[in-house]
C-alpha cells in the first residue's frame, strides 16, 4: 500500500504517542520508509529506542547534539509526506504561529512535502476557540487535519479529543495522498439511498436505507480517478470528495429517469439504492383524512432500474447490483445475476450482525458472472467499498 513511500512521522508529547509506535509498525509493514522526529516532551511518553528499532532508522530529537547539527531541511525535503501524530495543543499553536524552538518545528517549517496532523487533546482544549482558530490556520497553510475521535480521555472524562486510531490514520493517508488512480478517465454511475413514493402531500412509502454504502462506493470510485454521477434518493448523507456530481431524486421513477440519462456514457454502474418495488397507483393531491374506517392504497410496480440498465448494457460497460436478502440468500443472489444481466451482485444478508441498513459496517459476498464467489469479513463501509471497487477494477481490466 505504501511501497517506496517516504514518511516522516513527527511525534509530540501526548499520552496518545503510544499509538504512534503501532503506527510506525503499520507503515513499515505496508512498505513505507519511515523516519521519526520527536519533541523532547514526546520522549517522556515513548522511547526513542523503540521507535528507531521499529522504523529501522535513527530518530531525531535535538537541533544539535554535542558534535553534530541535525539537518532539518534535508529531512523535510526527503519525505513524501510529514505526519504529525499525535499533535498536542502546544505544538499546534507553535505550528500555527511559526515558532521554531525544537527540531520538529524546524522540520515542519522547512518541509516542502504535504503535512497532515492527527490532534490529540482533552475535550475542553479541543473545543477552545484558540484551538479551533489554530487548526483553521493550519488548514489555511494547506495542511490536512485528521478528525479526532470521541471516547475516554486521559483526564478520565469522556468526550472529543482522542487521536484517530493508527489504522484510521493509515486509511486517511492512503485515501488522501497515495490513492491508486486506477480508474482515471473512467465514468461511473452510482445509485444510493431509499426512494420515497408519495401517497399524499405528507405521507410516503419508504425504507430504512441510509445511503451510506452507496456513498462510500461513489467516494472510493472518485478517489481512484473516476468521474462519478451519484443519483441519490432522500438521504442526509453528503460528500466533500471531488469528482462526484450528485443528482437528488425522490421517487423510483425519478431515479430511473436520471439513470437512463447517465448510463449510456458510463463505463461502470453500481446500483446500491434500495428502490421501492411498488408505488401508489395515484397520489392524492390533498392530505387523506381519517374519516373512513380503513384505507386501501393500490400499489403498482416501479420500473426495475438495474434490469433496464442490464437490457441496455454494452459489452464495454460493467454493471453491478446489490441483493439484500433474508433467506435463500446465495440462490437469490445468483438468480439476480442472470435475471438482471449484471456482471456482479453484492449480497448482504439481514441475518448477518452489523450488516445492512443504518449500520456503519457491512458484510458482503460478491457473486460474479463467471461463477466467482468471494465472501468478506464484516468491515466498516469504507473498507467494504474498497473491496468492491478492487473487484470492479479487476473485472474492468481482465
Ligand atoms: N433495483 C432497481 N430498481 C428497482 C428495484 C431494485 O434498480 N425497482 C436494484 C437495487 O438497486 C439492487 C437490486 O436491484 O441493486 C436488487 O434489489 P432487491 O430489492 O434486493 O431485489 P429485487 O430486484 O427488488 O427483487 P426481490 O424484491 O424480489 O428480491
| For range 208-230, the mean pLDDT | 94
Per-residue pLDDT at 154 exceeds 90: no
Question: Quick one: which atom of ligand 1 is closest to the CA of 252?
Answer: 8
Share of the chain above pLDDT 70, in %: 97
In order of 90, 160, 290, the CA distances from 149 in angstroms are 19, 6, 47
Residues 110 and 192 in one domain: no
| For range 189-216, the mean pLDDT | 96
Residues 139 and 277 in one domain: no
pLDDT at 367: 97
Domain membership of residue 239 (yes or no) is yes
CA dihedral 133, 134, 136, 140 (to 10 degrees): 130
Per-residue burial over 25-39, b if 16 or more Cβ lie within 10 Å, else e, is ebbbebebbbbbbbb
Domain membership of residue 1 (yes or no) is no
Residues 156 and 195 in one domain: no
Q: How far is the CA of 278 from the centre of ligand 1 (A)?
A: 11
Which residues are catalytic, by number?
207
Domain membership of residue 130 (yes or no) is yes
The best mutation among 303, 322, 341, 342 to test binding of ligand 1, ranked by most ligand atoms within 8 Å of the C-beta, falls on 322
In order of 6, 171, 273, the CA distances from 30 in angstroms are 12, 11, 34
Residues 199 and 300 in one domain: yes
Question: Quick one: which atom of ligand 1 is closest to the CA of 325?
Answer: 20
Per-residue pLDDT at 342 exceeds 90: yes
Grid cell of 105 as nine digits: 518545528
Q: How far is the CA of 223 from the centre of ligand 1 (A)?
A: 27
> pLDDT digit string (tens) for 69-122?
767 778 889 999 999 999 999 999 999 999 999 999 999 999 999 999 999 999
pLDDT at 325: 85
pLDDT at 68: 67
Report how far residue 195's alpha carbon sits from residue 359's, in angstroms, rounded to the nearest whole number. 18
83, containing H or E segment: strand 81-87
Total domains, the chain:
2
> pLDDT digit string (tens) for 288-330?
998 888 999 999 999 999 999 999 999 999 999 999 888 899 9
CATH number, domain of 111, equals 3.40.50.1950
Q: How far is the CA of 220 from the centre of ligand 1 (A)?
A: 22
The finding on whether 273 has its CB within 6 A of some atom of ligand 1 is yes
Grid cell of 113 as nine digits: 512535502
pTM of the model: 0.71
Per-residue pLDDT at 27 exceeds 80: yes
CA dihedral 26, 151, 82, 2 (to 10 degrees): 30
Residues 33 and 59 in one domain: yes
Q: How far is the CA of 304 from the centre of ligand 1 (A)?
A: 7
Per-residue pLDDT at 355 exceeds 80: no
* Average pLDDT of every residue of the chain: 93
Question: Quick one: which atom of ligand 1 is closest to the CA of 320?
Answer: 15
The finding on whether 320 has its CB within 6 A of some atom of ligand 1 is no
Residues 259 and 347 in one domain: yes
Residues 13 and 106 in one domain: yes
Per-residue pLDDT at 45 exceeds 90: yes
Domain membership of residue 155 (yes or no) is yes
Domain membership of residue 167 (yes or no) is yes
| For range 126-139, the mean pLDDT | 96
Nearest to 33 by CA among 89, 81, 98: 81
Share of the chain above pLDDT 90, in %: 79
Per-residue pLDDT at 36 exceeds 90: yes
Per the structure, the complete domain to which residue 165 belongs is given by: 6-178
The finding on whether 194 has its CB within 6 A of some atom of ligand 1 is no
In order of 93, 115, 128, 163, 289, the CA distances from 123 in angstroms are 16, 24, 9, 11, 50
Residues 16 and 159 in one domain: yes
Q: How far is the CA of 274 from the centre of ligand 1 (A)?
A: 7
pLDDT at 72: 74
Per-residue pLDDT at 32 exceeds 90: yes
Q: Write the residue with the smallest CA distance to atom 6 of ligand 1.
A: 275
pLDDT at 67: 65
The best mutation among 195, 205, 305, 310 to test binding of ligand 1, ranked by most ligand atoms within 8 Å of the C-beta, falls on 305
Per-residue pLDDT at 283 exceeds 70: yes
Q: How far is the CA of 277 from the centre of ligand 1 (A)?
A: 7
Where is the domain boundary, 130, 150, 178? Answer: 178
Residues 205 and 305 in one domain: yes
Residues 171 and 214 in one domain: no
Residues 272 and 214: beta-carbon distance below 8 Å: yes
The single residue listed with the C-alpha cell 438468480 is 335
Q: Write the residue with the smallest CA distance to atom 14 of ligand 1.
A: 306
> pLDDT digit string (tens) for 327-340?
899 999 999 999 99
pLDDT at 315: 95
The finding on whether 310 has its CB within 6 A of some atom of ligand 1 is no
Q: Write the residue with the smallest CA distance to atom 12 of ligand 1.
A: 322
Residues 256 and 126 in one domain: no
CATH number, domain of 336, equals 3.40.50.10300
Looking at the chain, the number of H-run helices and the number of E-run strands are 13, 22
The finding on whether 306 has its CB within 6 A of some atom of ligand 1 is yes
Most distant CA atoms of the chain, gap in Å: 94
Residues 197 and 269 in one domain: yes
Amino acid at each position: 500500500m505504501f511501497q517506496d513511500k517516504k514518511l516522516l512521522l513527527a511525534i509530540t508529547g501526548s499520552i496518545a504517542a503510544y499509538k504512534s509506535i503501532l503506527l510506525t509498525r503499520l507503515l513499515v509493514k505496508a512498505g513505507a520508509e519511515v523516519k521519526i522526529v520527536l519533541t523532547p516532551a514526546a520522549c517522556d511518553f515513548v522511547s526513542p529506542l523503540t521507535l528507531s528499532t521499529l522504523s529501522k532508522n535513527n530518530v531525531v530529537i535535538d537541533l544539535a547534539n554535542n558534535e553534530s547539527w541535525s539537518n532539518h531541511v534535508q529531512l523535510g525535503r526527503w519525505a513524501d509526506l510529514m505526519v504529525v501524530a499525535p499533535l498536542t495543543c502546544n505544538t499546534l499553536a507553535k505550528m500555527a504561529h511559526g515558532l521554531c524552538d525544537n527540531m520538529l518545528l524546524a522540520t515542519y517549517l522547512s518541509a516542502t512535502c504535504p503535512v497532515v496532523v492527527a490532534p490529540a487533546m482533552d475535550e475542553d482544549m479541543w473545543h477552545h476557540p484558540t484551538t479551533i482558530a489554530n487548526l483553521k490556520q493550519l488548514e489555511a497553510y494547506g495542511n490536512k487535519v485528521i478528525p479526532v475521535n470521541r471516547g475516554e480521555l486521559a483526564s478520565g472524562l469522556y468526550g472529543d479529543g482522542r487521536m484517530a486510531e493508527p489504522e484510521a490514520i493509515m486509511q486517511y493517508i492512503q485515501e488522501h495522498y497515495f490513492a491508486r488512480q486506477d480508474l482515471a478517465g473512467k465514468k461511473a454511475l452510482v445509485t444510493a439511498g431509499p426512494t420515497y413514493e408519495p401517497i399524499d402531500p405528507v405521507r410516503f412509502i419508504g425504507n430504512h436505507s441510509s445511503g451510506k454504502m452507496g456513498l462510500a462506493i461513489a467516494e472510493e470510485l472518485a478517489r481512484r480517478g473516476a468521474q462519478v454521477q451519484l443519483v441519490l434518493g432522500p438521504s442526509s448523507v453528503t460528500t466533500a470528495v471531488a469528482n462526484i456530481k450528485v443528482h437528488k431524486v425522490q421517487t423510483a421513477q425519478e431515479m430511473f429517469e436520471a439513470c437512463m440519462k447517465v448510463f449510456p456514457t458510463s463505463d461502470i454502474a453500481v446500483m446500491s439504492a434500495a428502490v421501492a418495488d411498488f408505488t401508489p397507483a395515484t397520489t392524492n393531491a390533498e392530505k387523506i383524512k381519517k374519516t373512513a374506517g380503513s384505507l386501501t392504497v393500490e400499489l403498482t410496480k416501479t420500473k426495475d432500474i438495474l434490469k433496464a440498465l442490464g437490457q441496455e448494457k454494452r459489452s464495454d460497460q460493467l454493471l453491478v447490483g446489490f441483493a439484500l436478502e433474508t433467506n435463500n440468500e446465495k440462490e437469490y443472489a445468483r438468480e439476480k445475476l442472470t435475471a438482471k444481466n449484471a456482471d456482479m451482485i453484492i449480497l448482504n444478508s439481514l441475518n448477518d450482525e452489523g450488516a445492512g441498513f443504518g449500520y456503519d459496517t457491512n458484510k458482503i459476498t460478491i457473486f460474479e458472472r463467471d461463477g466467482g464467489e468471494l465472501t468478506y469479513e464484516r468491515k466498516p463501509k469504507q473498507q467494504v467499498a474498497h473491496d468492491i471497487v478492487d473487484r470492479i477494477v479487476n473485472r474492468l481490466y481482465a
